[in-house]
Chains A and B, each alone.
Chain A
Amino acid sequence: MKRYFYNIWETITTLMIGLGVTFGHLLRIRKGNVTLQYPEERWPQPQREIGFNLDRYNVIRSRLHVDIDDCIGCLQCSRACPVDCIKIEFVKVDKGLDIGTTSNDTKKRLLVTRFDIDMTECCFCNLCTYPCPEDCIYMTGGPNSRKHPIDYEYSTYDRSDLIFRFSNVDPDQVARLTGQNELKVGGK
């Protein structure tokens, strides 16, 4: 009998405490609100001051981007990728022909005819960005926003639009520089 009334009493008190908690939140909604009204407001982007003072830091994982002019076709990124979403093909340039240098003053020897990143396959592990000797593959935004602005919502109407083709070499150029029409395919 005592237990019966104690149970009722415990129910009433604990439920009242619970009601108090929610009512407190109801009153304090202006302070406690955590909703971000997405299209109008955006998440504050991490700024340089909070510690991305080293250029090698690459801590935004939004979308892979390649500065194709700097790519030397070393296939390091493609090898590092655990899901094989980076597809690179290149052709050897004939000896003596100059196809320019990268921003790190490395002489380019290979013409990258295909550099496709399938972002539908990408698992955003960031493993490809580390081995790159020219720092030309990176996730956009954050400390890299100087190179390429952040791309939060790279949504498209078509799935195939998420395959990013970075190579800007046209077949004529290939034929001119290599003296052959057949592409000699390297890489994966």
Chain B
Amino acid sequence: MGVNKTEEMVLNIGPQHPSTHGVLRLKVQTDGEIVTSVTPVIGYLHRCFEKHCENITYQQVIPFVDRCDYIASMNNDFGYVLAVEKLLGIEVPEKVEYIRVIMAEMNRIASHLLALGTFGLDVGAFTPFLYMFRDRERILDLFELTCGARLLYNYMWVGGLSHDIPVGFVEKTYEFLDYFEPQIDEYNNILTFNKIFIERTADVGILPVDVAINFGVTGPNLRGSGLRWDLRKDETYSIYDRFDFNVPVGQGIKGSVGDSWDRYWVRVEEMRECVKIIRQALDMMPRDGDVKAAVPKRIRPPQGAIYSRSETPRGELGFYILSDGKPKPFRLKMRSPAFTALSVLSEISQGWMISDVLAILGSLDIVLGEIDR
């Protein structure tokens, strides 16, 4: 290819493009179909989240945290309330911990379903996308039952939850899990092991583990590269140490370790692990207890700073909160996992074709709300 060098063309993918997962713009330098460099241009969804937080109380931040990673709001809430609780030194009731884990893991399934579905869409498979959305809807129904909202929940509060789980929630969740587990096999049949899909994703966009660490990539993308690093296991927070689950890593079954297929496969396997965790949590959860028992009347943390991190579906979500003793945070910094995932895109997509760049982008599972904040 190198010999027949032609004139290079700059292609603008986005901000309005079917597969940029939001309002991302990619400046792609192409030599025919081959991509020589990719430059992501971000900021189209910038909403001044961090600055805005300095002007609202700790409780009021939660709806905005929801809107950062709008695909996995529960996990974002979880990370934020953990940070504030650490700052305040609050112990939350047992039941709250369990409900939080259940909700977070359910949202992890929902988020992975969306990630896998849109990844399928990026490589041209339309039907699996709708199957996954169908099942995601069921999770959202459960959330709606619990807190009235389907996307932006504002469910986890500092020190508690906005609502207790409704009567019948546990049974409905068991029912969902029983329904959901065979569905994973169906996704595998229609998409995961489809030869065309494997051809499109295996050995494409290989992210070596050292590059991943250098760029600070976390979550399923890092695990896809073969490193077993999951904050739920390695830096246990909340009550994750009580559950028995595995951390799937990419093994290069269809290609080499760290390719797009591995990143996809890690998410599929993670959904099974989520189901495991939810089952255990539902079994172990105390049935009664006040979810608002530890909610402080006024949130006024002492002076100081805190950094707290948690594992969202996209990776390590960190909150650095600097408090000056007032009811509003003095400074709030969010470390978003999707940002690092996007930053590695230009590194790993050079030399691939245009179609591959979009497949790699899909496999990195970014959410622009979190990148731009």
- Given the known A-B contacts A15-B195, A82-B56, are A46 and B145 also in contact in the complex, defined by CB atoms under 8 Å? yes
A17 touches B189 (CB 8 A): yes
For the complex, is B193 an interface residue (Cβ under 8 Å from A)?
Answer: yes
From residue 77 to 122 of chain A, which have CB atoms closer than 8 A to chain B?
80-82
Q: Which of B137, B149, B189, B198 contacts A21 (CB 8 A)?
A: B189
Closest approach, in angstroms, between the C-beta of B123 and any C-beta of chain A? 13
User: Beta-carbon contacts of A3-36 to B below 8 Å, as 1s and 0s?
Assistant: 0000100110011011011100000000000100
- Given the interface pairs A10-B195, A59-B148, A61-B148, the reply to whether A21 lies near B186 with Cβ below 8 Å is yes
Of all chain A residues, which has the CB nearest B295?
A130
Cα–Cα distance between A142 and B61 once the two chains are bound (Å)? 26
Question: Is B152 an interface position by the 8 A CB rule?
Answer: yes
Interface: A53 (CB within 8 A): yes
Contact residues in B for A59 (Cβ distance below 8 Å): 145-148, 163, 166
**Residues of A close to B152: CB separation below 8 A:** 123-125
Q: Does B215 contact A (CB under 8 A)?
A: no
How far apart are the CA atoms of A18 and B127 in the complex, in Å?
10
Contact flag A82-B63 (CB < 8 Å), given A51-B168, A125-B154: yes
| CB contact between A139 and one of B148, B168, B191 (< 8 Å): that residue | B148
User: Does B194 have its Cβ within 8 Å of any Cβ on chain A?
Assistant: yes
Using known A-B contacts A18-B190, A80-B60, A126-B154, determine if residue A142 contacts B148 with beta carbons closer than 8 Å. yes
Query: Are B127 and A22 in touch, CB under 8 angstroms?
Result: yes
The yes or no answer to A57 lying at the interface (CB within 8 A) is yes
Partner of A11, one of B127, B162, B195: B195
**A59-B148, A142-B148 given; A125·B193 CB < 8 A:** no
**A74 interface contact, C-beta 8 A:** no
Interface size of B by CB at 8 A reads 36
Please judge, given known A-B contacts A22-B190, A50-B166, A53-B167, whether A125 and B148 are in contact too, CB under 8 Å.
Answer: no
Decide if A164 is an interface residue (CB 8 Å cutoff).
no
Check B163–A15 contact: CB distance below 8 A: no
Q: Which residues of B sit under 8 angstroms from A178, Cβ to Cβ? A: none
Contact yes or no, A15 B194, CB < 8 A: yes
Count, A-B residue pairs, CB within 8 A: 82
Residues of B within 8 A of A21 (CB): 186, 189-190
B319 at the interface (CB under 8 A from A): no
A125: B residues at CB distance < 8 A: 62-63, 66, 152, 154
A185 contacts B by Cβ under 8 Å: no
Which of B148, B191, B193 neighbours the largest number of chain A CB atoms within 10 Å of its CB?
B148
Tell me the chain B residues, 303-347 only, with Cβ under 8 Å from chain A: none
B127 closest partner in A (C-beta): A22
Q: Does A136 count as interface, using CB distance less than 8 angstroms?
A: no
Contact of A15 among B60, B154, B196 (CB under 8 A): B196
Chain A residues packing against B (C-beta within 8 Å): 7, 10-11, 14-15, 17-18, 20-22, 34, 46, 49-53, 57-61, 80-82, 123-127, 130, 139, 142
Q: A59-B146, A123-B63, A127-B63 are in contact. List 18 more A-B contacts (CB 8 A).
A: A7-B195, A10-B195, A15-B194, A15-B196, A18-B194, A20-B189, A22-B127, A50-B166, A50-B168, A51-B166, A59-B145, A59-B163, A60-B148, A80-B60, A81-B60, A123-B67, A127-B59, A130-B162
A sample of 29 cross-chain residue pairs with beta-carbon separation below 8 angstroms, ordered by A number, consists of: A7-B195, A10-B195, A11-B195, A11-B196, A14-B194, A15-B194, A15-B195, A17-B189, A17-B190, A18-B189, A18-B194, A20-B189, A22-B127, A46-B145, A50-B145, A50-B166, A50-B168, A51-B145, A51-B166, A51-B167, A51-B169, A53-B167, A57-B163, A59-B163, A123-B152, A124-B152, A127-B154, A130-B162, A142-B148
Interface residues of B (CB under 8 A from A): 56, 59-64, 66-67, 127, 134, 137, 144-149, 152, 154, 162-163, 165-169, 186, 189-191, 193-196, 198
List 10 A-B pairs, minimum CB-CB distance, nearest first.
A51-B166, A51-B167, A82-B60, A125-B63, A59-B148, A11-B195, A61-B148, A125-B154, A21-B190, A14-B195
